[in-house]
Homo-oligomer: A and B are copies of this chain.
Amino acid sequence: MPEIRPTALSKRPRRKLQTPNPEVRARLMDAAIDVLKEHGFPALRIEEIVERAGLSVGTFYLYFDSKADLFVAMVTEYTQRLIDRISKAYEGDDHVAVRMSRGLEAYLDFVEEYEKGFLYFVSAADNIETSVGRLSTWVFQQHAAILQPLVEKAQADGDMKKMDPELVAQALLGLAQHMAAFWLQHRERLPREKLRDFMNMFTAFGLSPASY
């Protein structure tokens, strides 16, 4: 995957490392995720990240231009991890509805695990332009790239209604993101199982009383 950077660069360009150490970068990202899980992104301080990682602020700036650059790197990295988990959930010979339901569970596991980061991503990613376009659009594209082939295969097998596969994927992804954010903000009265059952029923059979 190409390195993705925000297009609004900091005024002072980062000194480039001849041989960046992937382990150092990973240590900084791991520390950032720990801090993010606790406090969310707006309150995240670079000092706290480097302290937790046992590194210096100078080292941080050898690897990232800015807090925005770190955020884009985190979204890129964790989107890849999420896509790997969902791909795994889609595997197997079960009916497409079962596989999609497993994908939704993997998605809900992920947003629950990274709740603060996910909610910040939902609120901010529409406004972040990067070297590969708008950050939210890029994330949707990554998801669609694994969901749309599943939809096309299911339609070819007669397991799904023939509708435009791109629109089907967009609808499922937009719905999942919106409802996951709604769930996280109303968890005291909305159990995860209730949301999951609703999503599975709604996406398979819609609202018509005749259809189930």
Give me the interface of A with B, judged by CB distance under 8 Å: 97, 122-124, 126-127, 137, 158-161, 163-164, 167-168, 170-171, 174-175, 177-179, 182, 185, 190, 194-195, 198-199, 201-209, 211-212
Contact = CB atoms under 8 A, between A and B. Distances in A.
A212 B211 contact: yes
Total copies of the chain: 2
A171 B202 contact: yes
B207 A211 contact: no
A206 B209 contact: no
22 contacts: A97-B207, A123-B126, A159-B209, A160-B207, A160-B208, A161-B206, A161-B209, A163-B201, A163-B202, A164-B198, A167-B198, A168-B202, A170-B179, A171-B202, A174-B174, A174-B179, A174-B182, A177-B178, A202-B206, A203-B207, A205-B211, A206-B211
A174 B170 CA distance: 12
The 3 closest A-B pairs by CB, nearest first: A174-B178, A123-B126, A211-B211
Contact of A204 (B126, B179, B203, B208): B208
